[in-house]
């Protein structure tokens, strides 16, 4: 319990830290591209669905258009920020070049940190539920429930298993033989010879 009480605040603090670290690069470098790519790809997807009789949802078009859009627009956004730094700020060329070179690194770091933050966000709910007394009570009862289920399963197998014959007793089973016997048992009976009856009626 002490370790659990320490782990939950650590998860929350780690989530807040990752959000803070990923906020600046994600907002300025990744968020515009993400929003624009969603709009562009969704427009292309609807157009492809209207022109095709085979596509159901067009998710392949959506993903491929997003990839192509990002390949073109991500460097374009970096160049746009470079021109803003050159013409709208008093930074020297060395500092401007440093900012431009660090943009790909910052964008990649923003993506990785955001992914880590999403993992922490999904993990927080189960950890918070574990702090609740009712949830802890259910977790303590879980091993007993599992053992009771195992016992019922063993009793079921012991009762109905011998009815399977070779499948239950033999260590190695010829499944092709078993499948052949099962298919022969399930095959419909041969139909009566109606042709012979018709011939008899004609002779009469």
CA-CA distance, 31 to 70, in Å (whole number)? 12
pLDDT band at 2 (very low <50, low <70, confident <90, very high): very low
CA-CA distance, 11 to 23, in Å (whole number)? 18
Q: What is the pLDDT of residue 162?
A: 83
Structure tokens at 172: 């190695």
1 or 75, greater pLDDT: 75
Model confidence, pTM:
0.54
Query: What is the per-residue pLDDT across 131-179, written as a single tens digit (0 to 9) for each?
Result: 777 877 887 888 899 999 999 999 998 888 888 777 777 777 777 777 7
Q: What is the pLDDT of residue 36?
A: 93
Lowest mean pLDDT among 14-23, 74-83, 137-146: 14-23
pLDDT band at 5 (very low <50, low <70, confident <90, very high): low
108 or 8, greater pLDDT: 108
Query: What is the per-residue pLDDT across 35-69, written as a single tens digit (0 to 9) for each?
Result: 999 999 999 999 988 888 888 888 888 999 999 99
CA-CA distance, 75 to 90, in Å (whole number)? 23
> Is a pLDDT exceeding 60 seen at residue 1?
no
The mean predicted confidence, pLDDT, of the chain is: 80
Return the closest-CA partner of residue 62 out of 45, 48, 77, 75.
Answer: 45
- Virtual torsion, Cα 110, 116, 122, 123, nearest 10 deg: -150
């Amino acid at each position: 319990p002490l370790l659990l009480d320490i782990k939950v605040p650590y998860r929350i603090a780690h989530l807040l830290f990752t959000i803070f670290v990923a906020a600046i690069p994600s907002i300025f470098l990744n968020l515009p591209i993400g929003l624009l790519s969603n709009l562009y790809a969704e427009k292309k997807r609807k157009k492809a669905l209207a022109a095709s009789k085979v596509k159901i949802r067009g998710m392949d078009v959506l993903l491929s258009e997003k990839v192509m859009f990002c390949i073109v627009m991500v460097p374009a956004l970096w160049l746009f920020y470079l021109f803003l730094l050159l013409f709208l700020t008093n930074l020297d060329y060395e500092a401007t070049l440093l900012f431009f070179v660090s943009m790909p690194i910052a964008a990649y770091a923003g993506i990785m940190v955001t992914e880590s933050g999403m993992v922490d966000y999904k993990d927080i709910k189960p950890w918070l539920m574990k702090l609740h007394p009712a949830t802890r009570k259910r977790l303590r009862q879980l091993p007993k429930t599992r053992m009771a289920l195992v016992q019922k399963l063993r009793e079921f197998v012991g009762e109905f298993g011998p009815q399977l014959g070779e499948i239950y007793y033999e260590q190695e089973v010829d499944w092709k033989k078993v499948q052949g016997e099962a298919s022969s048992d399930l095959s419909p009976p041969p139909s009566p010879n109606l042709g012979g009856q018709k011939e008899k009626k004609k002779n009469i």
